Amino acid sequence: MKENESSPLVVAIDGPAGAGKSTVAAIIAARFGLLNLESGAMYRAFALKAIQTDSDVDDREELSRLAAKTRIRLLPGSAANRVFLDDVEVTKRIREPDVTAAASRVSVHPGIRQWMVSMQRQLGESSGIVMEGRDIGTTVFPHAAVKIFLDAAAEVRGQRRYQQNGPAGVQAAESVLEELRERDRRDRTRAESPLQPAADAVIIDSTKLSLDEVVTQVAAIITARLASR
């Protein structure tokens, strides 16, 4: 559906892992009264299901059969989303490294992506949203009023992820960066909806920007867009 002034506002924030999408999306959603939806959490929930059922994450037919038996729900929370897999809350579990690695693999399969895209479109149907992910501006909401592509140098993203893991994190900084590069490669080179900026996205490189500076830029883009509707 093409957006017009009466359609709910859709803000798409795409970009690679560790660029700061989730943090920026949560702040922007609160500021503009929008629902904050993390599409990556849905891929993560399905990846967890594949782990739990000992499924082969590279076998697209097996995964499609599994998807037909899987129910994923995303509830927008104040900070992060709450995520339910087959009615069991998995919000924390899906952030663990085994799920992160499996999510990157299950998300290359076209059938899985189509299923996710249709669930994501339904979530954005009735109210204004900020949705962050990899293909929101290109595929899920190609008519989004605002499209941001948030990028940063891989070294900086790796360092941010490492710090997010905190002192209890089990991974060394080098291995966090190595895994992030591997996920980047898979996200950018997959055949179906590879990670790339939409032609009409505003690209923000946050390598040398503070969180406040990024939020200020995104908020200014949204305000200008709303004023021109």
**Residues contacting 64, CB < 8 A, separation 6+:** 109, 111, 112
Q: Return the ∠ at Cα 142 (arms to 48 and 94), rounded to 5°.
A: 15
The upper half-sphere exposure of residue 75, i.e. CA atoms within 13 Å in the direction of its Cβ, equals 11
81 scored as a contact of ligand DC (CB under 6 A) = no
The stretch near ligand DC (CB under 6 A) out of 55-63, 83-91, 131-139, 166-174 is 131-139
Residue from 124, 133, 137, 158 touching ligand DC (CB under 6 A): that is 133
Q: Of all helices (H) and strands (E), which one includes residue 103? A: helix 97-106
Q: Maximum distance among all alpha carbons in the chain?
A: 51
134 scored as a contact of ligand DC (CB under 6 A) = yes
Q: Could you tell me the two tokens for 123?
A: 């979530």
Nearest residue (CB) to ligand DC, 153 versus 220: 153
Strand pairing class (35-38; 146-151): unpaired
The stretch near ligand DC (CB under 6 A) out of 52-60, 130-138, 143-151, 153-161 is 130-138
Binding mask of the shown chain, residues 31 to 70, with x at each position contacting ligand DC by CB under 6 A:
--------xxx-xx--------------------------
Bridge partners of residue 12, in order along the sequence: 131, 147
CB of 141 to ligand DC, least distance (A): 11
Rounded-to-integer distance, Cα 40 and Cα 37, Å: 9
Q: How many CB atoms lie within 10 A of CB 139?
A: 20
Binding mask of the shown chain, residues 169 to 198, with x at each position contacting ligand DC by CB under 6 A:
--------------x---x-----------
104 scored as a contact of ligand DC (CB under 6 A) = yes
141: helix, coil or strand? coil
CB of 104 to ligand DC, least distance (A): 3
Nearest residue (CB) to ligand DC, 96 versus 229: 96
User: Which residues form the interface with ligand DC (CB under 6 A)?
Assistant: 17, 39-41, 43-44, 103-104, 107, 133-136, 183, 187
